[in-house]
Structure 1
């Protein structure tokens, strides 16, 4: 096969919506940096970015804040799927932009209202991204393993991992949802959440603010490109 997608890539210092014409891309975050550009204050570097980080627009920064919290350094190692949305508008014209469809660290879909125009907000849903599993090399039946060598099985999420993911998903719905979730847990499981209590409170607080006015400190923005 001759892959022509690389011949159509736009010249840019960041991931562009046109880079995703060929289809969605799942990335693993390696670093988050603060930039000087007021319209694109955050750069998210990822494995294989080729020096072209993802610089999310305001709407997608709200999604990141709602689901992963306000500490960008905690994003390292997490994964998300990006896709091109042809309906994204700028200046009244559909120019296309980058949207997030899936994110790791959640056990169920998260829906929130995002501003489309000054007078319009629409629901936006992000789905859970399955854990990445490493593929073991194929082994012939007549090729025995060396003595003492044990075949590594893919790591399965522990009960604590599942508890943490469920708690973060509830926190993303707001403080009340988190409080009801913890109230239904047995005391031992509830105590286990104390290790991530600060993170849960940040996620819930961000969700509460987003429900009130969309995003802390911002008036409803005009149409934007991602």
Structure 2
């Protein structure tokens, strides 16, 4: 019996607790208008019914990296992590941050407000997309190259995608 599932928060959205143990790579399925307090809901393929509601700082990162038109976001990939140092109302409460984003050719740095009157740089890194991973696997011409390509797929957080695992297995059979 896996008791880890019993520790999951019961909520209608992604929470800091969901990301304390490890970052998660997620795919945007749609973006909807939220409430006045949380104006953006980013719905995720991996967590139906539990959207990521980014803070104002993370919305600024999204706009700097992907632009303001949210209709372009579906299909794009984020790596989210729990940052225990996030403050709200002067209290350290923890929050969800973005560490990597697809559709970037280079890291993006945004200067975000840390405290009133103080800003600090926040950088997000590019993340590989399933299309990148497909190219790595199909371009491998030896079993050693395929093994390296699969390692890259896993490090990119895409190893759980069934289509990529199937492609790896078929390429392995071809190369043997």
TM-score by length of 1: 0.58
Q: Deviation of residue 3 (structure 1)?
A: 4.0
Per-residue CA distance 1:126-156 (angstroms, 9 max, x = gap): 0000122223152598x7x8xxxxx9xxxxx
Q: Deviation of residue 21 (structure 1)?
A: 1.6
Aligned length: 142
Structure 1 segment 187-202 matched on structure 2, within 5 A:
none
Alignment counterpart, residue 61 of structure 1, candidates 52, 59, 62? 59
Higher relative contact order (CA 8 A, sep 6+): 1
Q: Deviation of residue 91 (structure 1)?
A: 2.3
Per-residue CA distance 1:2-41 (angstroms, 9 max, x = gap): 5433221112110001011220001011110012x11211
Larger Rg over CA atoms: 1
Q: Deviation of residue 82 (structure 1)?
A: 0.2
Q: Secondary structure at the match of 2:112?
A: strand
Task: Tell me the distance in 2 between the aligned counterparts of 1:60 and 1:122.
Answer: 13
TM-score by length of 2: 0.74
Q: Secondary structure at the match of 1:22?
A: coil
Task: Tell me the distance in 1 between the aligned counterparts of 2:25 and 2:41.
Answer: 16
More strand by share: 2
Residue 169 of structure 2 is matched in structure 1 by 138
Cα RMSD after superposing both structures: 2.1
Q: Secondary structure at the match of 1:113?
A: strand
Task: Tell me the distance in 2 between the aligned counterparts of 1:12 and 1:138.
Answer: 37
Residue 77 of structure 1 is matched in structure 2 by 75
Residue 29 of structure 2 is matched in structure 1 by 30
Residue 118 of structure 2 is matched in structure 1 by 120
8 Å CA contact 1:24–1:83 kept in 2: the answer is yes
